[in-house]
């Protein structure tokens, strides 16, 4: 977790406020509304960590935390298309996340264990245990990593082809936001548990940067209209 439950809670509150400000100032922008949802989910993830350590209900809050960060790659890919104004059927992006969320919500024994330590939280989940569930681990990892790399690849292609300077600035910030929100998650959530390493939650370190990027995207998109 973020060094202490209080810091997790403070981070969540800041992100909730920032999401509300985006809606209040830039609500006519579809990109801004989308960015606000993204930031709200980052804040909600912080809230799950706070609640996990303060309520004692590890199972429920660990499931909700997993479900929250499982949607981030799909949201990141969706954001790329939002920024480019090229939108395929977006619901397709969310099918893997919905399936994993359903398994997390209804699978008995999904949360293997968890504990709050002095500077981090350790949670052991069915999907993130390569020795016990190698197939699920590989499928989940392929989804998480695949959406990250696809989003970054498409964003790079779109950026190269885009001639409008305002749209380029927005897409550059958007690409940075995707990288900030998902690449650290890939490293810490997928790779480090496989190596048996424990770590503080990444989202205190990166979520506020992501929130700032989301605000910048919202501002740029709003002023582009």
* Model confidence band, residue 20 (pLDDT cutoffs 50, 70, 90): very high
Q: Does residue 190 carry a pLDDT above 90?
A: no
Quote the DSSP letter at residue 112. E
Q: Does residue 46 carry a pLDDT above 90?
A: no
pLDDT-above-70 percentage for the chain: 79
Contact residues for 148 (Cβ-Cβ < 8 A; gap 6+)? 73, 76, 178, 182, 183, 186
Summarize the confidence of residues 10-18 as an average pLDDT.
Answer: 91
Q: Does residue 2 carry a pLDDT above 60?
A: no
Q: Does residue 35 carry a pLDDT above 90?
A: no
Summarize the confidence of residues 188-206 as an average pLDDT.
Answer: 56
Residue 183 contacts residue 194 (beta carbons within 8 Å) = no
Residue 76 contacts residue 148 (beta carbons within 8 Å) = yes
Q: Does residue 150 carry a pLDDT above 80?
A: yes
* Length of the chain as a residue count: 225
Token couple for 191 = 């790779």
Provide the pLDDT for residue 16.
95
* Lowest mean per-residue pLDDT among 65-69, 117-121, 125-129, 188-192: 188-192
Q: What is the largest CA-CA distance in the chain?
A: 53
Residues 78, 151, 178, 28, Cα dihedral to 10°: -30
Residue 69: name the closest of 91, 38, 99 by CA: 38
Secondary structure (3-state) at 123: strand
Q: Does residue 124 carry a pLDDT above 90?
A: no
Calpha distance 192→17 (Å, rounded): 32
- Looking at every residue in the chain, the average pLDDT score rounds to 80
Residues 177, 179, 181, 182, Cα dihedral to 10°: 150
CATH 1.20.1070 corresponds to the domain 5-224: yes
**Span 128-146, pLDDT tens digits:** 666 667 788 888 889 988 9
**Span 56-115, pLDDT tens digits:** 888 999 999 999 989 988 988 888 787 777 666 778 889 999 999 999 999 888 888 877
Provide the pLDDT for residue 3.
55
Parse the chain into domains and list their residue ranges. 5-224
Residue 100 contacts residue 127 (beta carbons within 8 Å) = yes
Tell which wins on pLDDT, 23 or 29. Answer: 23
Residue 147 Cα to chain centre, angstroms: 12
Calpha distance 177→211 (Å, rounded): 8
Calpha distance 222→225 (Å, rounded): 6
Provide the pLDDT for residue 225.
59
Provide the pLDDT for residue 98.
96
Secondary structure (3-state) at 133: coil
Provide the pLDDT for residue 212.
83
């Amino acid at each position: 977790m973020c060094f202490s439950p209080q810091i997790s809670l403070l981070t969540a509150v800041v992100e909730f406020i920032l999401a509300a400000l985006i809606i209040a100032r830039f609500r006519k922008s579809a990109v801004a509304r989308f960015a606000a949802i993204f930031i709200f989910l980052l804040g909600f993830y912080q809230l799950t960590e706070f609640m996990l350590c303060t309520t004692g209900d590890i199972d429920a809050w660990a499931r909700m935390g997993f479900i929250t960060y499982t949607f981030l790659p799909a949201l990141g890919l969706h954001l790329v298309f939002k920024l480019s104004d090229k939108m395929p059927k977006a619901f397709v992006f969310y099918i893997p996340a919905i399936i994993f969320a359903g398994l997390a919500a209804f699978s008995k024994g999904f949360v293997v264990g968890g504990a709050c330590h002095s500077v981090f939280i350790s949670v052991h989940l069915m999907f993130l245990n390569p020795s016990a569930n190698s197939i699920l681990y590989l499928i989940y990892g392929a989804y998480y990593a695949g959406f990250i790399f696809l989003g970054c690849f498409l964003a790079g292609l779109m950026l190269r082809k885009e001639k409008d300077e305002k749209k380029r600035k927005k897409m550059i910030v958007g690409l940075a936001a995707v990288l900030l929100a998902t690449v650290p998650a890939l490293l810490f959530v997928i790779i480090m548990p496989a190596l048996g390493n424990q770590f503080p939650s990444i989202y205190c370190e990166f979520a506020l940067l992501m929130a700032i990027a989301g605000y910048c995207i919202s501002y740029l998109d709003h002023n582009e209209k």
